[in-house]
Amino acid sequence: MSQLRRRALLPLIAWCLPVAGLALEDHSGHVMPAEALPAAVAPAEDHSQHGQAPKVEPPATPVEDHSGHAPAAPAPEPDRAPRNAPADPHAGHRGHGRHPVVAPAAPVPGPVLPAPDPERLRAAFPELAPHAHMQAAPWAKVVLDRLEAQEAGDDTALAWEGRASWGREFDRLALTSEGERLHGDTEELRHELFWSHAFSRWWESRLGLRRDDGQGPARSWVGVGVEGLAPMFIEVSAVAYVGESGRTAFTLEAEYEARLTNRLILQPRLELNAHGEDDAQKGIASGLSDTSLGLRLRYEIRRELAPYAGVEWNRLHGDSARLARRAGEREGEARAVAGLRIWF
């Protein structure tokens, strides 16, 4: 009976031996990956060379097994907003498909106002009366536009042109003087006293008396004209004169100030004179008698004081040029000039 039992148990023992061998396989040379162990349990130290199994203490609290789950991705860092900016209520929901981005609402258009008509513009911007203090306070000013030396052949001529004015903003009295001295004699001398009245923003009328001295007999005139600022900022003066014995004359002056810098100014200037009758004693014929074109470059040390240098061309025309040739004078010449412009 015992022999039968041994024969019956031999196949069972032979089948169990391989299973027991697998269970008793030595793993002392292998290290378990760290991600397969619980977070609270550290990898056990290999003590196989000491002949005893390592002692592992159970964790104090049960640890949840997350070996089958991938670690969650870190939350995206919220966008940096400028200091004192209002908080975005959807800042923590960006990137979630459950919260669609809502576009800002379109602004509601305001009421469409009609274009103002001329009557409404006049009511909104009425013509203001001049200030009382501007009308009550008169002022005076003296301007010496030209005080210069001119190179005239082998000699030097002295020329000047200036104005002294007194009055208020719209009405003033002015005295002008213009002349030239050459070879110790006064070749030309002109004085004019007139009343000026501003009739628009840029223009004023003038009415006054003129006196011509110098070579030949003196002549007196009554003049009326306008002066002001034309388009392109050109200063213009146009005056018609009536003199003794029905003589007539016309003078046109134009000048422009091209400001190259705050202190450097280029000034072209044009002057022409015409007469209605001959005046042989003064060397003047009817028609366009003479023209003068000047170009001066000045430097303003101050607004009130500016030295300058330039050139001026003078020319006689028509019968006036013929009278000059008969008297042995030149009908035209160019002169280099240098001088000062002063006002106070």
Residue 87 lies in a domain: no
pLDDT in tens, 220-244: 999 999 999 999 999 999 999 999 8
pLDDT in tens, 203-217: 999 999 999 998 889
What's the whole-number mean pLDDT along residues 153-182?
92
Whether the pTM exceeds 0.85: the reply is no
What's the whole-number mean pLDDT along residues 167-190?
91
Residue 192 lies in a domain: yes
Q: In terms of residue numbers, what domain contains 294?
A: 137-343
Average pLDDT over the chain, rounded to whole? Answer: 79
Distances (CA, A) of 33 to 42, 43, 69, 219: 11, 9, 15, 126
pLDDT attached to residue 243 = 94
Q: How many domains does the chain have?
A: 1
Residue that wins the pLDDT comparison between 168 and 133: 168
Residue 231 lies in a domain: yes
Torsion of the alpha carbons at 190, 194, 199 and 202, rounded to the nearest 10: 30
Residue that wins the pLDDT comparison between 62 and 299: 299
Give 74's pLDDT tier (boundaries 50, 70, 90). low
Residue 98 lies in a domain: no
What's the whole-number mean pLDDT along residues 179-200?
92
Residue 174 lies in a domain: yes
pLDDT attached to residue 51 = 45
Residue 211 lies in a domain: yes
Residue 199 lies in a domain: yes
On the question of pLDDT at 135 being above 60, the answer is no
pLDDT in tens, 270-281: 999 999 999 988
**CATH number for 239:** 2.40.160.40
Residue 117 lies in a domain: no
